[in-house]
Amino acid sequence: MKKLLALLVIAGTVATGAAAQNRAAPPPSGAPTPAPASPLDGTWRGTSDGGSCNAPLDYVLTIEAGFVDGSAYDTTARGPVPNPNKSAPPPPTPGLWQIHGVAKAGAAFNLLSLASVKGPSHQRMQLTARGDGQSLIVSETSGCKRTARLSRS
């Protein structure tokens, strides 16, 4: 009888321990919650028109949880060249633009674009973007006034 009682106690302890292992631990109170997904999330690519500068930009934007990060590259930009005349060379044009902002679904939103240039010149450009069906329209509000239609890749 004592052996049977001892076996029942051991079996009950094992069953209770197994049930406790199957329960999910509660999340820590200070754990960050994941950001909600945006309908514009994804990688967007495309080329703009030349605008008044006749210099199209190749765009690559990544939107994750509504945060925009990307770049635009001017394939026509030229860096410094040898100067045999010993006169002041023209400054290099920006070839790479870094783009940042926060996307808003269903409305136009602003993006900030900064030129990657050396020296004291600091160039920035304001962009406006909006979702249009399966594309993203990005327009310059100053400068060359280029417009790009980007598609999700």
- Residues making up the chain, counted from first to last: 153
Look at residue 46 and tell me if it is in a domain.
yes
CA distance 148 to 127: 11
Place of tokens 């417009």: 147
Print the domain residue range for 111: 42-77+91-152
Decide if pLDDT at 14 tops 70: no
Look at residue 95 and tell me if it is in a domain.
yes
CA distance 117 to 78: 12
pLDDT per position as a tens digit, 112-136: 999 877 666 678 889 999 998 899 9
Look at residue 122 and tell me if it is in a domain.
yes
Number of structural domains the chain divides into = 1
pLDDT per position as a tens digit, 88-119: 766 666 678 899 999 988 899 999 999 877 66
Decide if pLDDT at 152 tops 60: yes
Look at residue 100 and tell me if it is in a domain.
yes
CA distance 153 to 150: 9
Place of tokens 């934007």: 61
Q: Are the beta carbons of 16 and 42 closer than 8 angstroms?
A: no
Look at residue 140 and tell me if it is in a domain.
yes
Query: Tell me, what's the pLDDT at 41?
Result: 93
Look at residue 121 and tell me if it is in a domain.
yes
Look at residue 30 and tell me if it is in a domain.
no
